[in-house]
Amino acid sequence: MSKQSQWIVGINAVSAAVEHDADNVREILLEAGGKNPRITEIEGNARRVGIEVRRVAQQALDGVAGGLRHQGAVARYAAAKTWDEHELEGLIEAAAGKALVLVLDGVQDPHNLGACLRSAAAAGVTAVVIPKDKAVQVNATVRKTSAGAADSIPVIRATNLARCLRDLQQLGVWIYGLAGDAEASLYKLDLKGNVALVLGGEADGLRRLTREHCDQLVKIPMPGEFESLNVSVATGVALFEAVRQRQA
């Protein structure tokens, strides 16, 4: 295995890799004797596109998965599919005035990033933007948690997040940052046009420069005892408020 290779684990993640990024899948290992029909489906789909498939013992899969629940399926990537931030313009234009972009400013936990990507895919986002530095990247744990979403939506790694936000504004995207100390409510916004929703990391929320490059800071009203939500939960709430408005 080359240094650039990585293993993705779990039925949903492996199936999505075969469907959306087959060129980067070098081999698939499936549990010998497994009778799960989805395992059989993965094997058939992989063989049809020329991916090598091997049936191996469960112990071999356990070793490759590194403690993650593999469900009898793992795949080796030669390289993960990546999107360049310069591709944002084409994605925004293709959305024809209804772009929905999720920007995550410094999420550290791979489980949180995976859950955010899963919500983003379910909400039909145009793209997800994450920083190249000081944030978790799309790895095996993220792919597993995202249930395949990491391979089905554009995840763009931005070298300079503040500059990326400026570029989005120049493309006609309105930038809303979520912050607990904001005065305006998320539910009072018009989220039907070109919109980017920006959420901060687990510990400190939005960084100063990120806040300064938002057009407006808003909050999710919380009448209960707690003052904040987990970033993946907040992401789901914010994205599906946009979905609700767009379907109304």
Residue 214, pLDDT > 90, answer yes
How is the chain split into domains, by residue range?
6-77, 85-247
For range 165-174, the mean pLDDT: 97
Q: pLDDT of 37-57, one tens digit each?
A: 999 999 999 999 999 999 999
Fold type of domain 85-247: Alpha/beta knot (3.40.1280)
**Cα distances (angstroms) measured from residue 182 to each of 96, 118, 218:** 30, 26, 5
pLDDT at 126: 98
For range 230-240, the mean pLDDT: 96
pLDDT at 182: 94
Per-residue b or e along 115-148, where b marks 16 or more CB atoms closer than 10 Å to that residue's CB: bbbbbbbebebbbbbbbeeebbebbbbbbbbbbb
pLDDT at 3: 38
Which single residue is written with the structure tokens 């899969």?
Answer: 61
Residue 233, pLDDT > 50, answer yes
Domain 6-77 homologous superfamily, CATH: Ribosomal protein L30/S12 (3.30.1330.30)
pLDDT at 52: 96
pLDDT at 218: 97
Q: Which of 61, 108, 66 is nearest to 207 (CA)?
A: 108
pLDDT at 161: 96
Q: How far apart are CA 238 and CA 199, in angstroms?
A: 9
For range 168-173, the mean pLDDT: 97
pLDDT at 79: 62
Residue 11, pLDDT > 50, answer yes
Lowest mean pLDDT, pick from 29-38, 129-138, 140-149, 194-203: 140-149
- Banded model confidence at residue 5, pLDDT cuts 50, 70, 90: low
Q: How far apart are CA 185 and CA 77, in angstroms?
A: 42
**CB 163 within 8 Å of CB 29:** no
